[in-house]
Amino acid sequence: MELVEAIILSVLAASTPLLIAATGELLTERSGVLNLGVEGMMIMGAACGFAGAWLSGSILVGALCGMVAGTLMSLIFALMALGLAVNQVATGLALTILGVGLSGLIGAGFVGERITPAAHLDIPGLTDIPFIGNVLFGQDAFVYLSLALIVGVWWFLYRTRPGLILRACGDNHLSAHALGYPVLRIRTLAVMFGGACAGLAGAYLPLAYTPFFIPGMTAGRGWIALALVVFSSWRPGRLVVGAYLFGAVTILQLHAQGWGVGIPSQFMSALPYLATIIVLVLLSRARTGGSTAPAALGTVFVPDR
Amino acid sequence: MLDPTPNGLHSGEPPLLQTRGLTKRYGDFVANDSIDIEIRPGEIHALLGENGAGKSTLVKAIYGLIQPSAGEISWQGRPIVLSGPSDARRRGIGMVFQHFSLFDNLTVAENVALGLDGSESFKDMSARLAQVSKTYGLPLDPKREVWQLSVGERQRIEIVRALMQDPKFLILDEPTAVLTPQEADQLSIVLERLKAEGRAILYISHKLDEVKRLCDTATILRAGKKVATRNPRLETAASLARMMVGSEIKEVRAAAGRQTTVPRLVVNDLSLAPAEAHGVRLEHVSFELKGGEILGIAGVAGNGQDELFAALSGERLSKDPGAVVIEGIAAGHLSITGRRKLGAAFVPEERLGHGTAPRMKLSENALLTGHAASRMVRHGFIDTAATLKTVDTATETFDVRKAKRDPEAASLSGGNLQKFIVGREILRNPAVLVVSQPTWGVDAGAAAVIRQALLDLATEGAAVLVTSQDLDELVEITDRIAVMFHGRLSVPLPTRETTREKLGLLMGGSSLEPKEAVHASGA
């Protein structure tokens, strides 16, 4: 029982950064912009988040620093890909390369430092309930925030008028423009939201997951977040399934390797990717016809005026 | 000629909308040159002109989508500056776009909501949508996503969306270009009703007969300038066309004594399951097409014409090689290239994306269909000079107007691109030409050039198959007409012996005897 609880707790911790980053990217892509720079924005969030927390002694300040760093990175992307209508794929890749390099420089002075990680919720009575208490009421703020974020994004996209307008921009920017919607402004805001989320997801790593910073500590999580958005067919509900599934299989295969299951470790390491792809592909098969991806995704828009 | 109220067309009623000296420049190019136009309540005002004459630019300026470089727009007697389409909508100006401004993956209700200012709840909006669509006889299912709908239904969304703003003035940019005759008639009824309600309508169309029937006033633009304002009922289609083009449009004429020769394209009992979930199944389609002959296929869009084109062009293969016979050789199993090598050429309906790769140059697009059967590739390398020569020849022969020698396909206007595509195929001297909707959304001048080219090709002995929704076009150029309905093809009838009524009945699916069709082709 304790082992199961420990596994669930580590699954939550492993899935949260993926979920936060993927939520931001989902909203960005729904507006029709493909920002491949998630990894770069995340690692900048990690470096600046740790620096902020170490210098101020506050996890909150650290988290905000991470979000600001991610947002600033996303603004570079917005300037290039939206303002100057540069190819989005190339810009996103460049942003990742920039982020990895710059974060190493910013974080160099902090390598080896430690901070007190983010506090976990502790409600006397509730948190003490055996098994479920710790899982439901004993998490750090990031975990609850990530869930609130994805519910909020779902609600925004499907229940509000600005959300409808954002989806419209992602489906057909020419039509949206013809109806008088400021496509580039809406997309810039969506890109900034994606940047803030990626920065927060990155900051989660040194602030809550491991209480120190090492260069390149995002270790490809940004790419996984991107893949999750695609495989979830841009649906918030499926994104949660995908993120937790990926986290769960990651942790389980680690344990399985520890128990000495007679399967090559390379195959075990590949399991999370395989499992996530298979499940999300099966989920997306349910829809017939129409386009699952935002139809205008990754296309350049220049308004005529 | 620039007198705003010529010929005493109007009574003393003040104009609802008026432009004075409206000018729009894009760099050196003047899209609209000092245009004066007046629109009064309760009139249907036609805006005529060839592609590129500046019609779309003018209505975009009136709808606030672009800012004029000079000149002024007055609304209800007062000069206004529109900050954008939502500003225009607030004042009571609505617009139905030529290329629909719809969102394929959103529902009908969501699409309508996006065209409104959002001051009412989604639920109230949906209720009003149901009511407006009922009042005007424009049925819509608010929960369906747009990609599932037909072209006619899509246009209904646009119109209902515009009507829900209760506009005083409605702009319609080529509303009937993509509609079947029946759908177009239905639209006329709606427009008459809007007019009776005292609304003003600005109506862009290439169909001059329709304009004569429907419109009270016509303003004609040519090369960005206003040429005249007339009462279309007092003009003839020919005189209107003359003002649009600036010269006489050549009448399309078939050479006398055209001889039909051997069968060059034979289709034997072709049946094909649909490729997509919403596609049409081709059932026992048979016909025989001789050299020197033009066969027309009429029918309401979506009755299997696209599937037939795919089966003929080799985009889809048939199990039975003998189902499609080109020049006496069974070709049902051959790829597009294989069929081209037999002397066939194909012009699909979609100009951009199917007929051409939009972002590639014309020379590259010429190579894409000409690489196998024309001499544009030498020892595996592209002969650039030959591809450019093809472009030049097509440009010269078919009067393709473009800004530079070898521009991207997407930069050409619809009519000029279509002339290039048809020209590209005809220059290959095909034995068989299969062409779908040859003059869809093309102005009168370009349409005449294309139709004449098809007739000339048949005169030279080629077999030409034309699929079109434009009955007038088919009557004008074909020798025989067959009708496609639910994937079946009727017996081709000599064009001289058909009437619009007869074809209309067949298009509606009555008196169709597929068995007879099989026999007729076997004979």
Out of A165, A180, A305, whose CB is closest to B85?
Answer: A180
In total, chain A counts a number of residues equal to 305
The Cα A247–Cα A202 span in angstroms is 16
| Chain B residue with minimum CA distance to A174 | B101
pLDDT at B278: 62
Inform me whether the pLDDT recorded for B331 exceeds 80.
yes
C-beta separation of A150 from A157 below 8 A: no
Inform me whether the pLDDT recorded for B11 exceeds 80.
no
The Cα B190–Cα B196 span in angstroms is 10
Inform me whether the pLDDT recorded for B3 exceeds 60.
no
Question: Could B97 and A178 be called an inter-chain contact, meaning their C-beta atoms sit closer than 8 Å?
Answer: yes
Question: Could A172 and B102 be called an inter-chain contact, meaning their C-beta atoms sit closer than 8 Å?
Answer: yes
As a three-state string, the secondary structure of B432-454 is EEEEECCCCCCCHHHHHHHHHHH
- In this prediction, residues B117-130 reach a mean pLDDT of 87
Q: Where are the alpha helices (DSSP H) in B7-74?
A: 55-62
ipTM: 0.83
| Chain A residue with minimum CA distance to B100 | A175
| A53 DSSP assignment | H
pLDDT at B7: 44
pLDDT at A53: 95
Bridging pattern class, strands B488-489 and B29-39: unpaired
pLDDT category at B335 given cuts 50, 70, 90 is: very high
| Chain A residue with minimum CA distance to B104 | A171
Least Cα separation, residue B154 to chain A (angstroms): 13
C-beta separation of B347 from B355 below 8 A: yes
What is the model's pTM? 0.74
Question: Could A289 and B102 be called an inter-chain contact, meaning their C-beta atoms sit closer than 8 Å?
Answer: no
Higher pLDDT pick, B4 / B126: B126
In the block, which residue shows the tokens 């990626």? A198
Inform me whether the pLDDT recorded for B49 exceeds 80.
yes
Most confident of A69-78, B37-46, B445-454: A69-78
C-beta separation of B305 from B482 below 8 A: no
pLDDT at A76: 97
Least Cα separation, residue A254 to chain B (angstroms): 41
pLDDT at B100: 66
The Cα B450–Cα B187 span in angstroms is 28
C-beta separation of B55 from B78 below 8 A: no
Question: Could A175 and B102 be called an inter-chain contact, meaning their C-beta atoms sit closer than 8 Å?
Answer: yes
Least Cα separation, residue B159 to chain A (angstroms): 14
Residue partners of A249: CB distance under 8 A and separation at least 6: A271, A272, A275, A276
Question: Could A180 and B277 be called an inter-chain contact, meaning their C-beta atoms sit closer than 8 Å?
Answer: no
Most confident of A191-205, B5-19, B138-152: A191-205
Token readout for A123 is 């409600």
Q: Which of A251, A192, A195 is nearest to A16 (CA)?
A: A251
Angle between helices B444-459 and B384-398 (to 10 degrees): 110
pLDDT tens string B164-207: 988 999 999 887 766 766 777 888 898 999 999 999 999 998 77
Least Cα separation, residue B22 to chain A (angstroms): 15
Most confident of A192-196, B13-17, B29-33: A192-196
Query: Which positions in chain A touch B118 (Cβ < 8 Å)?
Result: 161
Coil, helix or strand for B412? coil
Q: Which amino acid is at B106?
A: L
* Residue of A29, A171, A287 to mutate, interface with B, max B Cβ within 10 Å: A171
Inform me whether the pLDDT recorded for A249 exceeds 70.
yes
Question: Could B114 and A171 be called an inter-chain contact, meaning their C-beta atoms sit closer than 8 Å?
Answer: no
Q: Using alpha carbons, list the distances in angstroms from residue A191 to A36, A74, A159, A195.
A: 11, 6, 20, 6
Work out the number of other CB atoms within 10 angstroms of the CB of residue B350: 12
> Where in chain A are the domains?
2-111+127-219
* Residue of B59, B105, B157 to mutate, interface with A, max A Cβ within 10 Å: B105
The number of C-beta contacts closer than 8 angstroms across A and B is 68
pLDDT at B249: 64
Element of type H or E holding B46: strand B44-48
Question: Could A179 and B115 be called an inter-chain contact, meaning their C-beta atoms sit closer than 8 Å?
Answer: yes
Most confident of A19-33, B59-73, B482-496: A19-33
- In this prediction, residues B129-143 reach a mean pLDDT of 87
B110 — contact with chain A (CB < 8 Å)? yes
| A11 DSSP assignment | H
Higher pLDDT pick, A168 / B522: A168
Residues of B412-445 as b/e, b for ≥16 C-beta within 10 angstroms?
A: bbbbbbbbbbbbbbbbbebbbbbbbbbbbbbbbb
The Cα B218–Cα B231 span in angstroms is 6
In the block, which residue shows the tokens 């390797």? A257
The Cα B35–Cα B9 span in angstroms is 18
The Cα B357–Cα A233 span in angstroms is 28
Out of B64, B101, B105, whose CB is closest to A290?
Answer: B105
pLDDT category at B365 given cuts 50, 70, 90 is: very high
The Cα B151–Cα B180 span in angstroms is 10
pLDDT category at A262 given cuts 50, 70, 90 is: confident
* Burial zone of B401 (CB within 10 Å; 0-12 exposed, 13-18 middle, 19+ buried): middle
Question: Could A289 and B277 be called an inter-chain contact, meaning their C-beta atoms sit closer than 8 Å?
Answer: yes
Q: Which of A16, A107, A109 is nearest to A66 (CA)?
A: A107
The Cα B384–Cα B375 span in angstroms is 11
- In this prediction, residues A235-246 reach a mean pLDDT of 91
pLDDT category at A5 given cuts 50, 70, 90 is: confident
| Chain B residue with minimum CA distance to A167 | B106
Inform me whether the pLDDT recorded for B414 exceeds 90.
no
> Which residue ranges form the domains of chain B, and what is each CATH number?
6-92+167-245 (3.40.50.300), 263-522 (3.40.50.300)
Question: Could A290 and B145 be called an inter-chain contact, meaning their C-beta atoms sit closer than 8 Å?
Answer: yes
Give CA A261 to chain center in angstroms. Answer: 32
B65 — contact with chain A (CB < 8 Å)? yes
- In this prediction, residues B394-422 reach a mean pLDDT of 87
Average pLDDT along chain B: 85
Least Cα separation, residue B73 to chain A (angstroms): 17
pLDDT at B518: 41
pLDDT at B153: 81
Inform me whether the pLDDT recorded for B409 exceeds 50.
yes
Average pLDDT along chain A: 89
Coil, helix or strand for B285? strand
* Residue of B56, B112, B114 to mutate, interface with A, max A Cβ within 10 Å: B114
Query: Which positions in chain B touch A291 (Cβ < 8 Å)?
Result: 104-105, 147
B85 — contact with chain A (CB < 8 Å)? yes
Among A200-204, B430-434, B516-520, the minimum mean pLDDT is found in: B516-520
Q: Which of B383, B254, B270 is nearest to B318 (CA)?
A: B270
In total, chain B counts a number of residues equal to 523
Question: Could B85 and A178 be called an inter-chain contact, meaning their C-beta atoms sit closer than 8 Å?
Answer: yes
Q: Is B33 left (phi over 0), alpha (psi -120 to 50) or beta?
A: beta
Q: Which of B149, B148, B162 is nearest to B190 (CA)?
A: B162
Question: Could B106 and A171 be called an inter-chain contact, meaning their C-beta atoms sit closer than 8 Å?
Answer: yes
- In this prediction, residues B462-481 reach a mean pLDDT of 90
Query: Which positions in chain A touch B106 (Cβ < 8 Å)?
Result: 164, 167-168, 171
Out of A168, A289, A290, whose CB is closest to B114?
Answer: A168
Inform me whether the pLDDT recorded for B355 exceeds 70.
yes
In DSSP notation, B134-174 reads HHTT----TTSBGGGS-HHHHHHHHHHHHHTT--SEEEEES
User: Which chain A residues touch B if contact means CB-CB below 8 Å?
Assistant: 161, 164-165, 167-168, 171-172, 174-176, 178-181, 288-291, 294-295, 304-305
pLDDT tens string B64-116: 988 999 999 999 989 999 998 889 999 999 998 866 688 988 999 999 999 88
Least Cα separation, residue B115 to chain A (angstroms): 6
| B71 DSSP assignment | E
How many C-alpha atoms does B14 have within 13 Å on its Cβ side? 6
In the block, which residue shows the tokens 């999580």? A221
Token readout for B233 is 């009922």
Token readout for A52 is 């902020």
Least Cα separation, residue A91 to chain B (angstroms): 21
B147 — contact with chain A (CB < 8 Å)? yes
- In this prediction, residues B449-468 reach a mean pLDDT of 93
Number of helices (H), then strands (E), belonging to chain B: the values are: 17, 23
Residues of chain A with pLDDT > 70, as a percent, come to 96
pLDDT category at B515 given cuts 50, 70, 90 is: very low
Question: Could A172 and B104 be called an inter-chain contact, meaning their C-beta atoms sit closer than 8 Å?
Answer: yes
| Chain B residue with minimum CA distance to A166 | B114
Q: Which of B410, B411, B416, B404 is nearest to B443 (CA)?
A: B416
Least Cα separation, residue A31 to chain B (angstroms): 13
The Cα B329–Cα B96 span in angstroms is 48
* Residue of B101, B123, B124 to mutate, interface with A, max A Cβ within 10 Å: B101
Coil, helix or strand for A301? coil
